[in-house]
Every structure is written in structure tokens, then in C-alpha cells.
Amino acid sequence: MTTQQRPFLTGSCCPSLGDSHKQSGEQSARRRFLGRAAAGLAATTLPVWVRAKEGAHGTDALLLSCMDYRLVDETERYMSGRGLRNRYDHVVLAGASLGAITSKFPSWGQTFWDHLGVAIDLHHIRKVMVLDHRDCGAYKVILGPAHLASATSEREAHAKALNDLRTQILSRHPKLEVELLLMALDGSVESI
């Protein structure tokens, strides 16, 4: 492709295209402007993994949710509805909050804390969102089925685990905001 076929990206504004003639002050200013404009555009239009690699982080939250396959799409819809599509780190543990604090599977908790530390160091997150859900199989495995005796006892079990995790997060990272959420199987979400 010749310089005439690229009227916007001529050799005079983009020396990397092989133009070796001297630039005037106006051409140099135009090149600087185009370079800055391209960098700004790249920070907003490139895929998240490219922006992260280049240091243009847009993530300020970490989401901890359950692995339940029934709610993968609902979780994505919820986060997108909050304006967070492609703008959060995501840790998945069976039982979400309960998975992070249970003594039955201690390595799950260590995994959560390790991921949280990386999210803080790498993406400078300011918020942890913990999304439990109703009819959770991990709660049945860890707590047994008694917590499901009623909708109220199920909510109380989730509220206890969620609040216990919040307490632990804030004791280690007091500057973080922690949001506690409970999703129903229809995708609706309530704050705890």
C-alpha cells in the first residue's frame, strides 16, 4: 500500500511507516496528537486482556461466586446490569462465601485469599462482591440439609457465612468495601 492510499496515516505523521524526510513542527504536533489519541482509544476499545497486559486496568471489584452451572448466565447478566461487564475479577468456589471460610476444605479458603491478594496487587481493586445463591449444593455438603428447612433458615445460613467472610476480609483489608448478595434460582438478587 502506498502513502497515497493511506491519506490519514501518511509517512509524515507515522515515521514507523518508513518515511525518512524531516517533519515540520505542525507534522510533529499532528503525530503526537494522533499517538495520544490512538493510545486513549486503545485503552477503551481493546479487549480486557490486552488492556490489562498494557497496564490500563479498568477493574475495581472482585466477585466471589459459586460454581453452580445453573447460574452462570444469570451471574453474568447481573454483573452486566450493574455496569461491570468485563470490569471485575472473578473467583469461583463451591459455596462462594461458605467455600471461602469452611474448615472442611481449607485449601478453598487459601485459594480465595491468594486470589484476593493478587487482585489487590495487580488490579488495585477497592471492592469485594460475594454472591451466594439459594439451593446451593455446597451448603448441603458442608452444612447438611437442615439449613433448608425453610426459606428463612436458608437465608440465615447464607447471611451468617456471608457476614463471617466480610468480617475476615475487613480484618485483613480494612480499606476494601464488601458487598454481600444472595441470588435466587430465577436470577433475582437481594442484598444481605
Number of neighbouring beta carbons within 10 Å of residue 181? 22
Q: Give the model's pLDDT for residue 24.
A: 52
Angle 137-163-130 from CA coordinates, rounded to 5°: 60
The domain in which residue 39 lies consists of 3-45
Stated pTM of the model:
0.71
Q: Give the model's pLDDT for residue 82.
A: 96
Do residues 61 and 32 share a domain? no
Q: Give the model's pLDDT for residue 39.
A: 47
Do residues 182 and 132 share a domain? yes
Report the CATH number at residue 118.
3.40.1050.10
With CA atoms as reference, report the closest residue to 28 among 14, 9, 42, 8.
14
Number of neighbouring beta carbons within 10 Å of residue 57? 15
Do residues 173 and 152 share a domain? yes
